[in-house]
Structures are given as structure tokens and as C-alpha cells.
């Protein structure tokens, strides 16, 4: 190789080796505060449910296995995630249908919106899914769903698939028999958080999450290695403004109102989903008493020493 004699020749020499000089980067590698990449956004259950109802007749579980609609953040270039590390989806299952068993590296959970008579089986334990319940599917657990009732069942899924995409340890496997044989029916299980218990816990709670809500209760400590779950009750009016390095996805269990994320205003009502990306100042404003489920990747930041939170 000819020895470079000018800066342009020097740059061309190491650029050809797939390198760059730290003194003239095309894009910065460090910045003073977190960049604003993913966008605040809301998805509305009233708009999505009619689409699922059409899909009910056009897409069978035999065809798709899971009849769901993934919430893709509208930031340019994004192909999948709801926020950087989490994805949310609406899902429905018809009476008589079975969503076959599989397992995967990502952790998953679901919040039940409407319908009775549906069960989830996780590693051999069969649990009924009731409106308001939160149910967990920890990573690499076999899980399937079946509707033995007379109503369509609708719920919200939340998974850490984008985290697995970033770190790349993705594994997925279909159950060799389609479903687990001879599951055991259980009323209570560590994976199931019942709505009636949640209401009682909120009634007894004095934890206001530093002003993010009027009261909250946490499921697990944390619920899963990458996800913390908080059911939060809002009183009529505004919460305090705050920001955190952790990403959050909120689901509206009860009530209506709006969430202000910077200059973006996101109106919401029951069944809606809100993306609140990291380090964005936000506050909730409830029209009356409301309940939100907060799904957050906070454990990742806690473990790595990256968690910062500010009340503004």
C-alpha cells in the first residue's frame, strides 16, 4: 500500500479497512443527553377492535396461529418495536379456537380486555383469563391459548422482543404435539395477577410513584427479568411531570384522559395503548378516576446502573 501523504489519502486508507478516525466521525458516538428517537404515540382500542373483528372471519388460528396486530412506533425506519425495547399488540381469539403451543426467548405478558371463557396454558398449568387480569409468560415457557366459552376474547400482549433483537439471542420452537398434553387447571398461580386482587391492593396502597399516580401496586419484584409491571390508579386531574431513562408502554384499564409527552398530547380511553419513550417529560391528566398498566424496561437500566429519574 502506498503511504498516505495527505489527510484525504489517510482517510481513504483506513476507510477501506472499515475503520474511521475518532477525530472526524461521520456520526457522533457520544452525546450529552439521550437522543429523542422513538416517538410518543397512542393506539385506540375503539379503532382496532373492528379491524380484529374483520380478521376474525378472514384469518384463522390455523392460518396465523396468533391473530394479533402489532403496534409499530411511527418513527422513520422502525419496522417492529413499540418503543426501543418493547412491543405491544392487540390479540383476539374466537370461541372454539386454539392458539397452539410454542416457546421463545422473549418474555411476554398479557392484559385481558374483554371476553370470558378463555384459558392460557403455561408449562402445563391452565389458567382462566378474565378481564382486568395480567398473566405472564416468562421466557422459554411453553404457552398456548384456547377459547372454550361463547364470547370472542380480546387482550393486549407485551413482549421484550426488541430487546432480544438488539442482543440477538433469539430462539423459537413450536411444540412437537401442537399443545401440551393433560394440563392441570389452577385458580391461582405465580403467573396470574387477578383484577379483584389488584383493586384491593390499589385500595390499600400509599405508593404514588413520586407523583406519577395517586396509588400503584407492583406485580412481582420485578415481574420478569427485563420488565417491571405497575398497575397505577390516577385521581381526577394532573399527575406531576417526570422523565426517566426507562421506556414505558401504558395500557388504559379504566377511565379516560390524556397524556402529555413533551409537546405531544395523546388522548386515551379504556383499552388504549400509549408509547412513552425514554427521557421524555410526561404527565397524565385524568378526566376522572382511571387505572393504567405501566409496562417498563426499568430492570435493564437498574441492573446496568443507567436508571435516572427526575420529577420536573
Distance of alpha carbon 2 from alpha carbon 105, whole angstroms: 50
Residue entry with cell 477501506? 16
Domains belonging to the chain, first-starting first, are 41-192 (2.60.120.10), 197-311 (2.60.120.10)
Q: Write down the pLDDT at residue 256.
A: 98
Q: Write down the pLDDT at residue 105.
A: 98
Q: Write down the pLDDT at residue 61.
A: 72
Stated pTM of the model: 0.95
Q: Write down the pLDDT at residue 288.
A: 97
Contacts of 303 (CB under 8 A, 6+ apart): none
Query: Which residues of the chain fall below pLDDT 70?
Result: 1, 63-64
C-alpha separations of 93 from 117, 145, 181, 231 in Å: 11, 8, 21, 25
> Given 3-state DSSP classes, what are the helix, strand and coil percentages for the chain, each rounded to the nearest 5?
15, 40, 45
Q: Write down the pLDDT at residue 253.
A: 98
Residues 120/143, Cβ–Cβ less than 8 Å: yes
Q: Write down the pLDDT at residue 23.
A: 86
Cα-Cα-Cα-Cα torsion 84, 100, 172, 58, nearest 10 degrees, comes to -50
Q: Write down the pLDDT at residue 51.
A: 94
Q: Write down the pLDDT at residue 57.
A: 85
C-alpha separations of 13 from 20, 22, 143, 152 in Å: 10, 15, 53, 63
Amino acid at each position: 500500500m502506498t503511504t498516505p501523504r495527505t489527510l484525504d489519502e489517510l482517510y481513504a486508507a483506513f476507510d477501506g479497512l472499515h475503520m474511521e478516525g475518532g477525530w472526524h466521525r461521520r456520526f457522533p458516538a457520544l452525546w450529552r443527553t439521550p437522543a429523542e428517537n422513538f416517538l410518543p404515540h397512542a393506539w385506540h382500542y375503539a379503532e382496532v377492535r373492528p379491524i380484529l373483528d374483520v380478521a376474525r372471519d378472514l384469518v384463522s388460528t390455523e392460518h396465523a396461529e396468533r391473530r394479533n396486530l402489532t403496534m409499530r412506533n411511527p418513527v422513520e425506519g422502525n419496522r417492529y418495536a413499540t418503543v426501543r425495547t418493547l412491543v405491544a399488540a392487540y390479540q383476539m381469539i374466537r370461541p372454539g379456537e386454539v392458539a397452539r403451543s410454542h416457546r421463545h426467548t422473549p418474555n411476554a405478558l398479557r392484559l385481558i380486555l374483554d371476553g370470558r371463557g378463555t384459558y392460557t396454558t403455561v408449562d402445563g398449568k391452565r389458567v382462566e383469563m378474565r378481564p382486568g387480569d395480567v398473566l405472564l409468560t416468562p421466557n422459554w415457557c411453553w404457552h398456548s391459548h384456547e377459547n372454550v366459552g361463547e364470547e370472542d376474547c380480546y387482550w393486549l400482549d407485551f413482549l421484550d422482543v426488541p430487546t432480544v433483537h438488539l442482543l440477538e439471542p433469539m430462539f423459537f420452537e413450536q411444540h412437537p404435539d401442537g399443545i401440551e398434553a393433560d394440563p392441570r387447571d389452577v385458580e391461582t398461580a405465580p403467573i396470574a395477577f387477578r383484577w379483584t386482587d389488584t383493586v384491593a391492593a390499589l385500595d390499600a396502597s400509599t405508593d404514588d410513584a413520586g407523583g406519577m399516580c395517586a396509588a400503584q401496586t407492583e406485580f412481582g419484584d420485578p415481574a420478569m427479568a427485563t420488565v417491571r409491571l405497575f398497575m397505577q390508579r390516577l385521581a381526577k386531574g394532573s399527575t406531576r411531570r417526570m422523565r426517566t431513562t426507562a421506556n414505558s408502554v401504558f395500557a388504559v384499564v379504566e377511565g379516560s384522559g390524556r397524556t402529555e409527552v413533551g409537546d405531544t398530547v395523546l388522548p386515551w380511553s379504556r383499552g388504549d395503548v400509549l408509547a412513552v419513550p425514554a427521557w421524555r417529560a410526561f404527565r397524565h391528566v385524568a378526566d376522572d378516576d382511571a387505572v393504567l398498566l405501566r409496562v417498563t424496561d426499568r430492570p435493564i437500566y437498574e441492573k446496568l446502573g443507567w436508571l435516572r429519574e427526575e420529577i420536573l
